[in-house]
């Protein structure tokens, strides 16, 4: 769409009411964004699309007001106001007397270089950023409105419909015989999974997992700001894109990380989100939603290819097929494995488990932490202090046994859904290790032990210096562990694996 008179006037220093100079323009398929000094002004285009209606001034005003309200959940410091534009298209004013001729969302401008997609391109995206992002996502989801039972949102039919609709359009956009074969296989998998997950979809809605989410949570809509990861530009124009399973929201970000070649960071984000949310049931549906998100990207890229010149079109067609590759990878995960840690407090178990996650090539592994799940059993957050004495509070023998039972339950769930599992716990007793070895055998998956050790003096130094961690181990706990540890037997040593970089 060519620039209308209003946009040309707002860009013209001679007549523009935007105080700062220079004035820059960014354009999307649905909006114009004018950048002026410390602020940005987002104006909706007067367009109507199958999924979006900005066709009247009243609708655009309502969309601006919805954008302000919804995005303030994520970034209240960025979204300032809805501003009426008055005057005439050739001589516009911000606010003032007279009828509005248009509306704009006024925002605080941020540096484009702080967007996470740009950080990823510069190889500056770190695990610490994923930890911040996971905490932010889990917090917003926890506070987000829950879809009422009577609504269509999150029903099995609503979950399956957009995933299946993708294939109608993709078949037209990628008509080559090889592409058709791949799409047919992906469509058959999607139909099987939608049928298999019907009860799970219904249960997730019943349990409040369908919420008013962001709806467009890719790396380009996330910035690093004041030591936090902040989301912006959520979906305001279509309820069906926004009222979704929180697992579908997370799947969008995971797929984007995979698309940027960051599977280890995707694995880290998933680990931190599970730690924060405790929503392990999401593992049942994450791959379905991940494949759906990858195929949406294939469709969007293929649509762009159909609108471009030949050379650019070939590049986008190749990119669309790369998204088919990604969807196929998500549909066909590698054979799961079960790995348990072994070692006293301070021996490096968590660091070794984290190294395995970051080296993951497919985002197909989850970690279970005894320190986190023990606290969750007692209604505590990962960083909460229980003030429990030695052998008391949440550290009684009964609590210890309950924690390992819970770890086993979660490991069984993950393995059944095709996820590899790392269990980050001490496993000081042979009986505890044997229970998980049987679990691996019962699921017909490989079993491994990640044994960690350090000199006693170093163990004491690490435990004494530990801060800001889920573990509450003290020097007294360490001494008890050193006295009671049952070393690995010969048959167990045959299962040892070495963490990356060791």
Vertex 403 angle, CA 473 and 393, to 5°: 55
In this structure, the answer to whether residues 373 and 427 fall within a common structural domain is yes
Q: Per the domain annotation, does 500 fall within a domain?
A: no
In this structure, the answer to whether residues 321 and 449 fall within a common structural domain is no
CATH number at residue 164: 3.90.1200.10
How does DSSP assign 263-278, residue by residue? HHHHHHHHHHHHHHH-
Q: Per the domain annotation, does 457 fall within a domain?
A: yes
Q: Per the domain annotation, does 502 fall within a domain?
A: no
Question: Rounded CA gap, 276 and 136, in Å?
Answer: 9
Per-residue pLDDT, 502: 61
In this structure, the answer to whether residues 293 and 412 fall within a common structural domain is no
In this structure, the answer to whether residues 120 and 249 fall within a common structural domain is yes
Q: Residue 314: in which H helix or E strand, if any?
A: helix 310-331
Do the Cβ atoms of 374 and 399 come closer than 8 Å?
yes
Vertex 6 angle, CA 5 and 7, to 5°: 95
In this structure, the answer to whether residues 225 and 302 fall within a common structural domain is yes
Domain endpoint, select from 109, 134, 166 = 109
Q: Per the domain annotation, does 250 fall within a domain?
A: yes
Q: Per the domain annotation, does 501 fall within a domain?
A: no
Token digits of residue 280 = 């392990």
Q: Per the domain annotation, does 498 fall within a domain?
A: no
Distance (Å) of CA 220 to CA 34, 217, 252, 331, 457: 18, 8, 12, 25, 46
In this structure, the answer to whether residues 367 and 316 fall within a common structural domain is no
In this structure, the answer to whether residues 99 and 11 fall within a common structural domain is yes
In this structure, the answer to whether residues 432 and 477 fall within a common structural domain is yes
- Sign of CA pseudo-dihedral 352, 353, 358, 364: positive
Burial label, 177 (beta-carbon count in 10 A; 0-12, 13-18, 19+): exposed
**How many domains are there within the chain?**
3
In this structure, the answer to whether residues 219 and 142 fall within a common structural domain is yes
Q: Per the domain annotation, does 383 fall within a domain?
A: yes
* Coil, helix or strand at residue 291: helix
What contacts 82, CB < 8 A, 6 or more positions away?
61, 64, 65, 68, 103, 104, 105, 106
Domain endpoint, select from 331, 362, 392 = 331
Q: Per the domain annotation, does 292 fall within a domain?
A: yes
How does DSSP assign 101-164, residue by residue? SEEEEEEE---GGGBHHHHHHTT---HHHHHHHHHHHHHHHHHSPBPPTTSSTT-HHHHHHHHH
In this structure, the answer to whether residues 191 and 155 fall within a common structural domain is yes
- Looking only at the bridges linking them, the beta strands covering 52-53 and 48-49 are antiparallel
Per-residue pLDDT of the chain (502 residues; tens, 9 = 90+): 578 999 999 999 999 999 888 999 999 889 999 999 999 999 999 999 888 999 999 999 999 999 999 999 999 999 999 999 999 999 999 987 899 999 999 999 999 999 999 999 999 999 999 999 999 999 999 999 999 999 999 999 999 999 999 999 999 999 999 999 999 999 999 999 999 999 999 999 999 999 999 999 999 999 999 999 999 999 999 999 999 999 999 999 999 999 999 999 999 999 999 999 999 999 999 999 999 999 999 998 988 888 777 667 788 889 999 999 999 999 999 999 999 999 999 999 999 999 999 999 999 999 999 999 999 999 999 999 999 998 899 999 999 999 999 999 999 999 999 999 999 999 999 999 999 999 999 999 999 999 999 999 999 999 999 888 889 899 999 999 999 999 999 999 999 998 776 6
Domain endpoint, select from 313, 331, 349 = 331
CATH number at residue 415: 3.40.50.300
In this structure, the answer to whether residues 177 and 89 fall within a common structural domain is no
- Looking only at the bridges linking them, the beta strands covering 447-451 and 48-49 are unpaired
Per-residue pLDDT, 467: 85
Structural domain for 453, as ranges: 338-493
In this structure, the answer to whether residues 283 and 137 fall within a common structural domain is yes
User: Which residue(s) pair with 334 in the sheet?
Assistant: none
Token digits of residue 370 = 């005894």
């Amino acid at each position: 769409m060519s620039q209308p008179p209003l946009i040309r006037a707002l860009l013209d220093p001679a007549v523009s009411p935007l105080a700062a100079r220079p004035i820059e323009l960014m354009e999307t398929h649905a909006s114009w964004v004018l950048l002026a000094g410390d602020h940005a002004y987002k104006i909706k285009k007067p367009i109507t699309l199958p999924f979006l209606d900005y066709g009247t001034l009243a609708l655009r005003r309502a969309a601006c007001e919805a954008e302000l309200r919804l995005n303030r959940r994520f970034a209240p410091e960025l979204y300032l106001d809805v501003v009426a534009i008055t005057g005439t298209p050739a001589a516009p004013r911000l606010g003032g007397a007279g009828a509005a001729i248009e509306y704009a969302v006024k925002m605080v401008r941020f540096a484009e270089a702080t967007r996470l997609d740009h950080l990823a391109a510069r190889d500056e995206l770190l695990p610490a950023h994923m930890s911040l992002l996971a905490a932010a996502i889990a917090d917003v989801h926890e506070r987000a409105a829950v879809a009422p039972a009577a609504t269509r949102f999150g029903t099995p039919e609503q979950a399956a419909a957009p995933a299946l609709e993708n294939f109608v359009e993709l078949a037209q956009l990628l008509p080559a015989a090889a592409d058709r074969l791949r799409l047919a296989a992906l469509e058959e998998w999607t139909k099987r999974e939608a049928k298999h997950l019907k009860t799970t979809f219904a249960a997730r809605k019943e349990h409040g997992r369908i919420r008013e989410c962001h709806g467009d949570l890719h790396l380009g809509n996330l910035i690093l700001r004041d030591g936090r990861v902040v989301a912006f530009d959520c979906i305001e124009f279509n309820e069906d894109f926004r009222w979704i399973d929180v697992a579908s929201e997370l799947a969008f970000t995971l797929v984007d990380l995979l698309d940027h070649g960051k599977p280890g960071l995707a694995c880290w984000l998933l680990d931190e989100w599970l730690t924060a949310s405790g929503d392990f049931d999401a593992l049942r549906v994450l791959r379905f939603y991940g494949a759906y998100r990858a195929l949406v990207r294939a469709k969007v890229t293929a649509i762009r290819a159909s609108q471009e010149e030949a050379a650019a079109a070939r590049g986008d067609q190749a990119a669309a097929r790369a998204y088919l590759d990604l969807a196929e990878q998500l549909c066909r995960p590698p054979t799961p494995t079960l790995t348990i840690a072994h070692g006293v407090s301070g021996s490096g178990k968590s660091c070794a488990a984290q190294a395995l996650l970051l080296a993951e090539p497919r985002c197909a592994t989850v970690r279970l932490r005894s320190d986190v799940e023990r606290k969750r059993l007692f209604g505590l957050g990962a960083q909460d202090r229980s003030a429990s004495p030695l052998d008391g509070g949440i550290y009684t023998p009964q609590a210890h046994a309950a924690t390992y039972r819970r770890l086993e339950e979660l490991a069984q769930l993950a393995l059944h859904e095709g996820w590899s599992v790392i269990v980050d716990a001490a496993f000081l007793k042979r009986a505890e290790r044997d229970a998980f070895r049987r679990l691996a055998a019962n699921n017909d998956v490989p079993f491994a032990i990640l044994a960690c050790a350090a000199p006693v003096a170093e163990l004491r130094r690490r435990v004494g210096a530990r801060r800001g961690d889920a573990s509450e181990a003290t020097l007294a706990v360490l001494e008890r562990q050193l006295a009671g540890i049952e070393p690995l037997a010969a048959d167990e040593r045959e299962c040892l694996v070495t963490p990356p970089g060791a």
